[in-house]
Amino acid sequence: MPNALIPRTTVHAWSEAIGNSPMDHSSSLTRLLKDQRRLTRFIEENSQAMGGSTSGICVYMTGVIARMFEMAGGRLRNATWEQVRAAEARVGAKVDQLLPLDVALVDRLHAISDRAQGHILDEAAMVLFLSQRAEGEAETDLAEALKVLLVSWVVIEVLNDCWQPPKDFSGEASYTYVHIDPPKATDKPAEA
């Protein structure tokens, strides 16, 4: 039986908390990525095809995703290569449903309801494609953002397979898109 979904508002609150205080979460992000050696290797393999800053964004985003599973509680087993490759195949089979690479890509993503922890992927898509950039901050190329999204999607699928929620976890039984306004550039925390 698939895991219940972490509610969208919870996912967004955790994302904001991590983004607003990255130093409070940095040791957890590093530890989680070290513990998930196979996923880390998968991320490294795929980041080689990304631009320099995009590669860093990908590593950070996948760390944030792993942190969300940890914040939800329960147990997070180490991923196997079989889980990584199976998730990669599941996601790869849905890429055609996302394309073409245009402004409606995120809406097409929302229409794919059989995603593991769809609200976490919605948060990633919002950050990558919909959030306004601060003045002087470079826009992410859409093709590069798609690469990060696809790696993040695989990571979410794998971590969901590895996650055993706590007994008292009461998530959502099925996915329904929940709109959250993307943060404006002025809503973003100042860099330390």
Q: Over 50: is that where the pLDDT of 15 sits?
A: yes
- SS3 category, 146: helix
Q: Over 80: is that where the pLDDT of 82 sits?
A: yes
Long-range contacts of 91-97 (CB under 8 A, 24+ apart): 91/150, 91/153, 91/154, 91/157, 95/150
Q: What are phi and psi of 12, to 5 degrees?
A: -65, -45
Rounded mean pLDDT of 69-90? 97
**CA separation for the pair 106, 99 (Å, rounded):** 10
- Kindly report which listed range (8-12, 47-51, 72-76) carries the lowest average pLDDT score: 47-51
